[in-house]
Structure 1
Amino acid sequence: MTAAQTRAMESDAFARRAADAGDLMRRAGAAVMTAILQTWPELRAERPHDPRRALVLCGPGNNGGDGFVIARHLAQRGWQVRVLFCGEAMRLSPEARAAHDAWCVHGEARPVDPSDPGPVGASDLLVDALFGFGLSRPVTDHQPLLAALASARAEGRIAASVAVDLPSGLCADSGRALVGPGGRLIPADLTVSFHSLKPGHLLAEGPALCGRVMVADLGLAPPATAIRRSLWQARPAALNLAKAPGAHKYDHGHAVVLAGGPGAGGAARLAARSALRAGAGLVTLAPPKAAMPEHAGPPDALMRRAVDSAEALAEWLSDGRIRALCLGPGCGIARAEALLPAALDWGGALVLDADAISALASRADLRATLHPGCVLTPHDGEFARLFPDLTARMKAPVAPLSRLEAAQEAARYLGATILLKGPDTIIATPDHAIIHSRHDLGWLATAGAGDVLAGLITGLLARARAAPEACEAAVLLHAEAAHRIGPGLIADDLPEALPAILRDLER
């Protein structure tokens, strides 16, 4: 859920008297304490003669109220607790004020000037409850405090850190660090999110700052009007890729990959090989006639057919057995631009990648001819050429647009599916958006990996998968192949890893 959806859910629960803010704060504090003990079981043991030390940073809102509750739980377990309070007790909400007063029975809520915090000392555990999911502006006034704590963490003077909902200063929707030039946030070892993940846990700088993320269910039933399908986790149905016994190759579709001129065919061959591995019944590689000789090598399962003009492509696409077309990998911008009108007029499942996206960026008149069967697979640079206005909004210092929101706005504008590539890949249609976050696959940053992904999508579209479902399955297969191959991966390895993955799925 986004920040707005989370607020709507809580407000609805309060209006229906299904919960009150004070009770929710107590549940949140208890949930964080439980998560701490689950993550570090060694902290369960009490040490009367050598108490552990905790530093709890509390802010002026309800996130600070959660911090006061956590401080009380720690003190009751025998910890030596210091609370730094960036706020005024008289200006707290009634619920946060009650939590503040309950803590003050155990210890002091020491006011701290965030612009001049002084020495922060050493601690076994830091609890960051300064700002939560409602933050939308840069934390300029608090940068000295956050920098001092980040330095203490980096130098080992703070042994472990826990963020309440989000690391303070992280935007819940975009995953951007809301800091000024040179500003720093406190990286968390553990982040405890309430109700659900937020997009910011998965996007941009979020994964690097959040550490391990645990979700605490505080018992609210979210109203349907407050939640859209914005986050997605792997569903077995999306990977049900088995072929029915007795089916003919054309039952699984004919996919076509358009290739570029002489010396530029490798990307298209990677895409075509991947479409075959994804289960398309037949895949044809279609370079211009001058480039046909360089495509004579393996795999022999690929068909070849020369296509030199838009007219030749249009005539061929009239064959009703062709189900999916891929245009872009290694194609060359000029050739992609020449073939785009025929590919779009065809009206079938169409993957536009690489040079086709660049061609589309220079031909705004063609954007109106996109349709729901189109899939665009830009990386950030290509997306910026297509949508400079959305990219500028993503870079805004205040309330930045998230990659999730930008991709979905683009999908609505084009009436097509957008797959915005990256470690936080977004699959967006006009109706919903999906995050696939895998920041542990750095070896995928290699030439040709995107061509493999385009081919996987094309192969799955040829098998009559809907565009969003084909993208979901392709991204998951792509990531799993990279995970299994690991260090040293090159793009040629990815299609060859798929048979074992598909076999495991069938089991």
Structure 2
Amino acid sequence: MTELVTSAQMRAIEEAAIASGAVTGLELMERAGRGAVETVLAEWPELSRGAHRAVVLCGPGNNGGDGFVVARCLRDKGWAVELWLLGDAAKLPPDARANHDRWARMGAVRALDTDAPDGSAPPDLLVDALFGTGLSRPIPEVALRALLALRGRDAPQCRGVAVDCPSGLNCDTGEMLLPALPGGRGAPPPAGQVAADLTVTFHRAKVGHYLGPPPMPSGKVVVVDIGLEPHDRPSVPPDAPPDPARVRRVSRAEGRHGSWPGSLFTAGGPAAHKYARGHAVVLAGGVGCGGAGRLAARGALRVGAGLVTVACPPAALIENAAQLTAIMLRPLAGPEALAEMLADDRLTALCLGPGLGVGAATRALVATAVDAVTGRTDAERRRVVLDADALTSFAGDAEALFALTHRTCVMTPHEGEFARLFPDLSHAARRRVGMSKVDAARRAADRAGCTVLLKGPDTVIASPGGVASIHAALYDRSVPWLGTAGAGDVLSGMIAGLLAAPGASGEIHGRVEAAAWLHVEAARVFGPGLIAEDLPEMLPRVFFALGL
């Protein structure tokens, strides 16, 4: 896991470092600019050899100051550098002005407002240092035109690097703040036309680097250490629990406590038996509607549940029996039968929703499933995963669902299902009205009193109290072929399978993170052509790669 920061959090870290007297703003700017150049040359080693030309676009703030350092470092390495400044040099912040003056003694500063590059001779490298992490409004039209001139043409030899973030990116929401241009039918140009190939950011990646629909404007994101670690929550011990104010990025990790998520699968040791790994139950639909439930059940079994049972209407038993082997079957006539079944405490996790149908019958099953643990502590409660029809059945009456859910429930809506339950949050997040997808998921988790996994390429996982994670199937983990019917059902089953393990009540958020990571990793292993049935069958290969 790695922490992401918001613009305000990053600003506070920098201010704390400067206030401590350990470093000056000018020194941080120098480290950032030099780090950006080193990263560029590491990413494209061919630029370390021969003569090359760069165009550097500097903005009116400290991000522009970083750009002046980049220009100076490239010139020192023998590059031909053309530099444009947006705005008045006299109004630059002090540190940026100091670096402007150093550059001005080496080369020309051209006014972007009046003398923009036309892109007729694309450079080897375009450095975007126009706007940094504090951007909250659309960039000026002249800046967009310059980026389009240099990046919007067919110039494969021009590599684009953004300093801290691509200009136009809101680093808190992931929104691209681009103006509409005349002749553009009132809409901004696609973000992909001005996207960077590489973004060099500092200390921590920003939340907005991992939010938003593909194609992502940041390209490859590389984090450069500029010496701020001692000033980032210095009084917090290394083994302290995650700060709920920080967003985590879900990623494979190696550490002193073993590898993640592999460490989740080693509990119990070689003597563990099937009941020690938990028993997951998946409620399936009626005749002709059981496929989604079977997919979820297969996901639960492959991810590690010791036993998995599909409970379905009696009329669907034969259909399911013809397609299941290691997964057990049980007839389920309705809520009363479910209540009787759940009296067995050995059933440790429940998944319902996929293929159940929308309506009163599903609402009754949800109420029974969740209410079966009333009066118990969180540690004793059965884990319940609610997806698909289990959520949509409460559209228009979401408060009735929230009155049932508790901390050992997990909701897994896609954006449409989320909008049916949380229309106000969905609307605000889509319009970026002071709210990011992370903000919306956090508020939804607090409102529902349970963990919420909001699906998408930028999946957000949030739990009550503010703990939030982003699992981004983006950049080098992009899996567009995962957008296939039934993939979400498999994910719900995988979550239930991981939550079936005894003791999982105390680590629900982490196990949901693991399911999201494994789900994408299984898709990556298979590749294009994937269908939902393939996902569970790829998990053994994923586990092998984890050393399990």
Q: TM-score, normalised by structure 2?
A: 0.87
Cα distance in 2 for residues equivalent to 1:110 and 1:504: 53
1:425/1:435 contact within 8 Å kept: yes
Matches within 5 A, 1:281-320: 281-320=306-345
- 2:246 aligned with 1:228: yes
2:117/2:149 contact within 8 Å kept: no
Which residue of the other structure, out of 397, 403, 414, is the alignment partner of 2:448?
Answer: 414
Instruction: For residues 279-336 of structure 1, give each alpha carbon's deviation from its aligned partner in whole angstroms, at most 9, with x where no partner exists.
Output: 2121111111222221121322211111122122112111111100101010101232
Which residue of the other structure, out of 192, 203, 208, is the alignment partner of 1:200?
Answer: 208
Give the aligned partner of residue 188 of structure 2: 183
Give the aligned partner of residue 370 of structure 1: 405
SS at match of 2:348: strand
2:125/2:161 contact within 8 Å kept: yes
Which residue of the other structure, out of 485, 488, 497, is the alignment partner of 1:459?
Answer: 497
Counterpart amino acid of 2:74? L
Flag the structure with higher helix content: 1
Cα distance in 1 for residues equivalent to 2:297 and 2:166: 43
2:358/2:393 contact within 8 Å kept: yes
1:125/1:162 contact within 8 Å kept: yes
Instruction: For residues 9-33 of structure 1, give each alpha carbon's deviation from its aligned partner in whole angstroms, at most 9, with x where no partner exists.
Output: 0111111112211111111111111
Give the aligned partner of residue 338 of structure 1: 364
Give the aligned partner of residue 227 of structure 2: 219
SS at match of 1:96: helix
Matches within 5 A, 1:126-165: 126-139=126-139, 142-157=140-155, 159-165=158-164
Counterpart amino acid of 1:21? G
Matches within 5 A, 1:28-107: 28-47=32-51, 52-107=52-107
Which residue of the other structure, out of 520, 528, 537, is the alignment partner of 1:487?
Answer: 528
SS at match of 2:517: helix
- Unaligned runs of 5+ residues in structure 2 are 181-186, 237-242, 254-258, 374-381
SS at match of 1:392: helix
Matches within 5 A, 1:233-244: 233-235=251-253, 236-240=259-263, 241-242=265-266, 244=269
Counterpart amino acid of 1:31? G
SS at match of 2:394: helix
Give the aligned partner of residue 209 of structure 1: 217
Cα distance in 1 for residues equivalent to 2:510 and 2:420: 26
Cα distance in 2 for residues equivalent to 1:261 and 1:69: 66
- 2:496 aligned with 1:447: no
- Segment drifting more, 425-434 vs 160-169: 425-434
- 2:383 aligned with 1:349: yes
Give the aligned partner of residue 16 of structure 2: 12
1:200/1:206 contact within 8 Å kept: no
Counterpart amino acid of 2:537? E
Which residue of the other structure, out of 540, 543, 548, is the alignment partner of 1:499?
Answer: 540
Distance 1:480 1:308, change over 3 A: same
Counterpart amino acid of 1:26? E
Cα distance in 2 for residues equivalent to 1:411 and 1:206: 25
Distance 1:161 1:505, change over 3 A: closer
How far off its partner does 1:422 sit? 1.3
- Segment drifting more, 381-390 vs 497-506: 497-506
Distance 1:36 1:499, change over 3 A: closer
Distance 1:121 1:76, change over 3 A: farther
Distance 1:282 1:451, change over 3 A: same
Same amino acid, percent of matched pairs: 49
SS at match of 2:158: strand
Cα distance in 1 for residues equivalent to 2:448 and 2:39: 43
